[in-house]
Amino acid sequence: MKIAVLPQLNEAQFKLLQSKTQADLVEINESEITAADLAQFEIILGWSDKIVDALTMDHSIKWIQLWMVGVDSIPLDELAEHEIIITTAKGANAPNIAQQIVGYLIMFTRHLHTSRDYQMKHQWERPADYGELTGKKALSIGTGEIGQAFAKIAQAFDMTVDGVNRTGHAVDFFNHCYAIAELDSLLGQYDYIINSLPHTPATDKLFAEKQFNAMANEAIFINVGRGKSVDEKAMIQALLNNEIKGAGLDVFEVEPLPANSPLWDMKNVIITPHRAGISDFYSPRIIDIFLENFPLYQQGKMPTVNLLDYQRGY
């Protein structure tokens, strides 16, 4: 069995794959590969746009293990037509994103970002009001792996985390889940509002003037989803007018965030360069997903972990 390996793996990761699959693994630099090359592999780890061309040839491709969480950039229709098995990286970045969310919240609550500013100036300055996460209420918009990983950790801080999803169906680790239609009426009740949604037509500028107005003046807004889910001008106004207390932002309408954005200089904004999703655990977790599915595939069965459902589109 021939397996193409497009992601850059380290030696230990590659050897693990080899020993567990006993297959003919070929590491390929995506920029150098042709569709004809790809057509000869039964399994492909990672993604290349050339796969679409390979499918139009006489090909062996049966299973693609994606190295990405979202599939919005993948031509699902073509893949479905050829009955390609697709498994995704869903959940592989959830722990690190959840940890980074907690990082923003502790920084705000314990003044660790402003202490850093004072450190730069060699100043021993003590803000007046030191809080805790204890007892705080968070609303997670998005109850997928990221929201769940955050809600699970938040329990250890004695926080209460409610969730928002399309239908309001219950999800593990959340105190209560609400339907997205109820969002505006919910926002005022939370200390922390956390967006982890992908950008879709339904989430475009989901957080606009009305939503920021609805938040409590003491609320902290966290965005680890996509910048285009937020009307950035409205958020900046809300921050300037003290309609919300602060924001921890990993994603922006335009990235890199332009040097002249007013967000950079706001003391109550923590800016990170769209790296919440990056972790040295990312590839190992996807390899685990693949290796859990591999024996099933060998037995002629369908993979069960992170199997893409073409009907649902995720």
Residues of span 129-158 touching its own copies by CB under 8 A: 129-134, 152-153, 155-158
22 makes contact with its own copies (CB under 8 A): no
Q: Which stretch binds its own copies (CB under 8 A): 6-14, 61-69, 79-87, 109-117?
A: 109-117
Residue 92 C-beta: closest distance to its own copies, Å: 11
Residue 252 C-beta: closest distance to its own copies, Å: 9
Give the separation between CA 89 and CA 285, rounded to whole angstroms: 8
Site string for its own copies, 171-210 (x = CB under 8 A): ----------------------------------------
113 makes contact with its own copies (CB under 8 A): yes
Interface pick for its own copies out of 120, 167, 172, 300 (rule CB under 8 A): 120
Contacts (Cβ under 8 Å, ≥6 apart) of 9: 17, 27, 283, 287
Active site annotation includes 226: yes
Site of tokens 């950790």? 153
Active site annotation includes 243: no
Bridge partners (DSSP) listed for residue 4 = 26, 44
State the DSSP string of 99-161.
Answer: HHHHHHHHHHHTTHHHHHHHHHTT-----S----STT-EEEEE--SHHHHHHHHHHHHTT-EE
Site string for its own copies, 214-253 (x = CB under 8 A): ----------------------------------------
Site of tokens 């497009």? 6
Q: Which of 255, 275, 292, 312 is catalytic?
A: 255
Q: Which stretch binds its own copies (CB under 8 A): 44-52, 93-101, 179-187, 191-199?
A: 93-101
Tokens of 202: 């339904």
255 makes contact with its own copies (CB under 8 A): yes
Q: Which of 82, 110, 274, 285 is catalytic?
A: 274
Beta strands in the chain (DSSP E): 2-5, 24-27, 43-45, 63-65, 85-87, 137-141, 160-165, 177-179, 192-195, 220-223, 246-249, 269-271
Q: Which of 59, 111, 199, 226 is catalytic?
A: 226
C-alpha distances out from residue 197 to 147, 229, 230, Å: 9, 8, 11
Active site annotation includes 125: no
Helices (H), 157-228: 183-186, 209-214
Residue 194 C-beta: closest distance to its own copies, Å: 15
> How many CB atoms are located within 10 Å of the residue 116 CB?
11
Tokens of 303: 């993979």
Residues of span 263-282 touching its own copies by CB under 8 A: 264-265, 270-273, 275-276, 278-281
Residues of the shown chain interacting with its own copies in the complex, contacts defined by CB under 8 A: 95-96, 99-100, 102-104, 106-107, 109-113, 115-120, 122-127, 129-134, 152-153, 155-158, 255-257, 259-261, 264-265, 270-273, 275-276, 278-281
Indicate which residues carry an active-site annotation. Answer: 226, 255, 274
